[in-house]
Amino acid sequence: MNQHYDVVVLGGGPAGLTAGIYLGRARVKTLIVDSGSLGGQMIMTYAVANYPGVLEASGRDIAMTMKAQATQFGCDLMPNVEVARIDLSGATKLVEIEDEGTFTASGVIIATGGVPRTLGLPSEALFKGRGISYCATCDGDFFTGKHVVAIGGGNSAIEESVALAKHAASVTVVHEFDHFQAHPFAVEEARRNSKLRFLMEQDIREFVGDQTLEKVIVSHKRTGEVTEIPAAGAFIFIGYVPNTAMFRGQIALNDRGEILTDEAMKTNVPGVFAAGDSRVKRYRQITTAVADGTIAALSATEYLRGDGQARAARAPTSPAR
């Protein structure tokens, strides 16, 4: 299959689906591609209580509504496929998809997201979503009045630990080194919080529980002393890995692999935009991804019209908008 689109959106999470909704409404012929199920990491969130206009819903429900909207506005959706090759260098971009063919586009929006860095322990995978979380803002209030562990020593770990203390009865911060990498003022604020205690030079050995997490087992890196920490929740803040490896050498990335954009979500390559967790940003929430997707779609639409590039033919079945 070989087909030309106005815009190919790489990634079907909240940023990519939002971009598709705006592009579709603007009568921009759009293909949304994702290596997994549409919805991205959002679909793994059991309950979303801080999405404006929605009192509470599962991440999957929000994702399915976005998918329906993107479809309604004429987007073609292609989940569960792998991008074999991508070329962003020319005026016409090329996306080759395994077992599906080669697709061309006048513009590309990269919304491939990323994943929190994991410890890689088998017990971590076992309790993911059952006590283990990677987002205090998302899940902190579910542990109100309970004892939790925060793992990490960078800015995110320290700042999120302070945020967790607003809900939890106590927060035990576990770090592998004898000093924190976070900014001194953040560490000072954390140390002033009576709900926080600190265990330094510790290795995480295991997460233990029955149906849900009950304790975290750690050992001192030098002495080997084992400590069992009773905890209903464990929040892991040891970094974030953007899904951008395929773009290395084609667009500008920082040393962490995050895509560099301006406020209009433009990359350094004309016709290529980025939105959501794959780009450089401080806060990673569903709402910030949706905002990025909106801006990227509007910028891409402006780019198409401003450059006067040949537009792909419109599907006759697209509803009037």
CA atoms within 13 A on the CB side of 73: 22
Q: How far is CA 230 from CA 5, 29, 169, 215, 216, in A?
A: 54, 53, 12, 4, 7
Residues forming the active site: 135, 138-139
67: nearest Cα among 42, 96, 86, 47: 42
3-state secondary structure of 199: strand
Among 211, 95, 107, 234, smallest CA distance to 164 is for 234
**Cα–Cα distance, 238 to 155 (Å, whole number):** 10
258 phi, psi to nearest 5 deg: -85, 145
